[in-house]
């Protein structure tokens, strides 16, 4: 094989393997919420909260109109009891829409979704048993369509695969229970309904998982630095503000580390901008290694400056983390595009949140400490007074 065809083959292999990695990563990202950062969870919970609220309000609003439709289609002796059931469902939806407590909490967002499905399923079960109790088929006036509507609703929410499967299974169980009451379980009609609901669950679930994937993609684009993959400055400021509030509420400390790579200008001048970029990426990797998963925030603050937020750590503990990162840089050597192997160092300023601090003053203190580290020879950790 010629050298050029070997190179092409190797390139194709690399592209295929990076596509495979991307695909696996995407699949893992959407399979369950455990992999998501708590900041993304906050965004998704608020998203879920708003959609649940809107759907609950819409459903509450259509109930009076639906009573009119019932009037045209249902037998007279059923109208009052079904209208009462509708009023119950509408009240449940209104209560859910008005419940604005902790909108950024993922567990509560999931509970809200469960409650919405439970309210609608309860109405479906109650109305079906009323109709059957009065000797009517539940498919009169389209009541048979109700579980299909609840299943389709899933497509509106950004859900993980696990959540979508749970949602589908729940609706199928309710449908099966209703069929047991109706006496159609196991019949051709009953199996057909379950099958159609299952297929619809697959399509709506696919749409829900796609929504999650899109939301994740947009979230990452808006909040990450493209070169290093770390949080960008805007995102960091938002998260720092949230963390400061949370730590103050819990009476726990919070510290920040501000990093600046040493002599980076001359590094760029000597080895080129591309080599500088490789160093920035490698340094981001070192920072990530020392960050506590799903707890610490690691951000590219701008240029060759980086920021790390350590909730729950005081200045002394944060200083130890900073020292570990400083030392870890000694073990790192990057290969420049021209083949040279070179190392890098960083200076670090540490500041702990004080009672009177704002974001700006906290960052100013870490910047002062960093300035001192630079002024006293670089490759140092300094803790703000």
What gap in Å lies between CA 321 and CA 308, rounded to an integer?
Answer: 10
Q: Which helix (H) or strand (E) holds 306?
A: strand 305-311
Tokens 């707890």 correspond to what residue?
295
List 102, 252, 265, 354, residue binding ligand GTP (CB under 6 A): 265
State the number of binding residues for ligand GTP (CB under 6 A).
Answer: 17
Segment interacting with ligand GTP, rule: CB under 6 A, options 125-133, 263-271, 314-322, 330-338: 263-271
- Does position 303 bind ligand GTP by CB under 6 A? yes
Separation of alpha carbons 177 and 185, rounded Å: 8
Q: What count of residues does the chain have?
A: 385
Cβ atoms of 258 and 307 within 8 Å: the answer is yes
Could you count the other beta carbons within 10 Å of the beta carbon of residue 180?
12
In angstroms, the CA 89 to CA 100 distance is 19
Q: Which is nearer to ligand GTP, 103 or 263 (CB)?
A: 263
Query: Is residue 189 involved in binding ligand GTP (CB under 6 A)?
Result: no
Provide, rounded to whole angstroms, the least separation between the CB of residue 230 and ligand GTP.
12
Q: Which of 304, 305, 332, 340 is catalytic?
A: 304
CA distance 134 to 137: 9
What is the nearest approach in angstroms of ligand GTP to the Cβ of residue 315? 23
Pairing of strands 334-335, 297-302: unpaired
Min dist. Cβ of residue 274 to ligand GTP (A): 7
- Residue among 268, 281, 317, 336 that touches ligand GTP (CB under 6 A): 268
Tokens of 26: 């995407």
Number of helices and strands in the chain (H, E): 12, 7
Determine if 250 is a binding residue for ligand GTP (CB under 6 A).
no
Based on the shown chain and the rule CB under 6 A, indicate whether residue 273 belongs to the binding site for ligand GTP.
yes
| 276 near ligand GTP (CB under 6 A) | yes
Could you tell me which stretch among 64-72, 91-99, 137-145, 271-279 binds ligand GTP (CB under 6 A)? Answer: 271-279
Q: How far is the CB of 300 from ligand GTP (least distance, A)?
A: 9
Are the C-beta atoms of residues 181 and 131 closer than 8 Å to each other? no
Assign 355 to helix, strand or coil.
coil
| Cβ-count burial 200-227 (b if 16+ within 10 Å, e if not) | bbeebbebbbebbbeebeebeeebbbee
- DSSP-derived pairing of the beta strands 346-352 and 381-383: parallel
DSSP state of 140: G
Closest residue to ligand GTP, based on beta-carbon distance: 276
Q: Does residue 20 carry a catalytic annotation?
A: no
- Output 263 or 282, the one with its CB closest to ligand GTP: 263
Yes or no: say if 231 and 223 are a contact pair by the CB < 8 Å rule. yes
Q: Which is closer to ligand GTP, CB of 35 or CB of 374?
A: 374
Q: Is 374 in the site for ligand GTP (CB under 6 A)?
A: yes
Q: Which is nearer to ligand GTP, 210 or 336 (CB)?
A: 336
Minimum CB distance to ligand GTP smaller for 208 or for 299: 299
Task: Please tell me whether residue 95 adopts helix, strand or coil conformation.
Answer: helix
Shortest Å, Cβ 228 to ligand GTP: 9
Q: Is 379 in the site for ligand GTP (CB under 6 A)?
A: no
Is residue 378 involved in binding ligand GTP (CB under 6 A)? yes
Residue closer to ligand GTP by CB (options 4, 266) is 266
Nearest partner of 89 among 103, 70, 109, judged by Cα = 70
Q: How far apart are the first and last CA of the chain?
A: 66
Supply the minimum distance, in Å, between the C-beta of residue 343 and ligand GTP.
14
Q: Within positions 52 to 91, which residues make up the interface with ligand GTP, using CB under 6 A?
A: none
Nearer to ligand GTP, 248 or 263 (CB): 263
Interface with ligand GTP (CB under 6 A): 227, 260-266, 268, 273, 276-277, 280, 303-304, 374, 378
Catalytic residues: 304
């Amino acid at each position: 094989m010629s050298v050029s065809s070997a190179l092409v083959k190797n390139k194709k292999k690399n592209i295929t393997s990076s596509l495979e990695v991307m695909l696996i990563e995407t699949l893992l990202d959407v399979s369950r919420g455990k992999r998501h950062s708590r900041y993304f969870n906050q965004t998704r919970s608020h998203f879920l909260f708003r959609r649940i609220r809107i759907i609950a309000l819409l459903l509450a609003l259509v109930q009076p109109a639906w009573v009119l439709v019932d009037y045209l289609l249902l037998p007279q002796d059923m109208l009052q009891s079904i209208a009462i059931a509708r009023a119950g469902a509408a009240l449940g939806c209104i209560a859910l829409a008005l419940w604005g407590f902790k909108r950024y909490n993922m567990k509560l967002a999931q509970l809200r979704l469960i409650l919405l499905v439970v309210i609608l399923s309860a109405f479906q079960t109650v109305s079906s048993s009323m109709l059957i109790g009065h000797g009517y088929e539940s498919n009169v006036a389209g009541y048979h369509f109700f579980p299909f509507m609840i299943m389709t609703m899933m497509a509106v929410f950004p859900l993980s695969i696990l959540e979508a499967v749970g949602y589908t299974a729940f609706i199928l169980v309710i449908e099966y229970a209703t069929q047991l009451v109706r006496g159609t379980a196991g019949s051709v009609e009953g199996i057909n309904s379950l099958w159609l609901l299952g297929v619809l669950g697959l399509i709506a679930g696919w749409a829900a998982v796609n929504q999650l994937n899109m939301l994740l993609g947009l979230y990452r684009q808006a909040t990450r630095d493209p070169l290093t993959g770390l949080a960008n400055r805007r995102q960091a400021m938002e998260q720092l503000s949230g963390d400061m509030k949370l730590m103050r509420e819990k009476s726990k400390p919070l510290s920040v580390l501000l990093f600046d790579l040493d002599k980076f200008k001359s590094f760029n001048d000597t080895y080129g901008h591309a080599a500088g970029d490789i160093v920035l990426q490698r340094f981001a990797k070192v920072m990530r290694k020392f960050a506590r998963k799903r707890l610490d925030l690691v951000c590219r603050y701008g240029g060759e400056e980086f920021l790390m937020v350590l909730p729950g750590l005081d200045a002394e503990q944060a200083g130890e983390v900073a020292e570990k990162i400083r030392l870890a840089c000694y073990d790192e050597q990057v290969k420049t595009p021209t083949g040279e192997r070179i190392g890098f160092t960083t200076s670090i300023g540490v500041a702990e949140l004080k009672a009177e601090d704002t974001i700006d003053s906290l960052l100013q203190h870490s910047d002062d400490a960093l300035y001192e580290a630079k002024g006293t020879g670089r490759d140092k950790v300094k803790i703000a007074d």
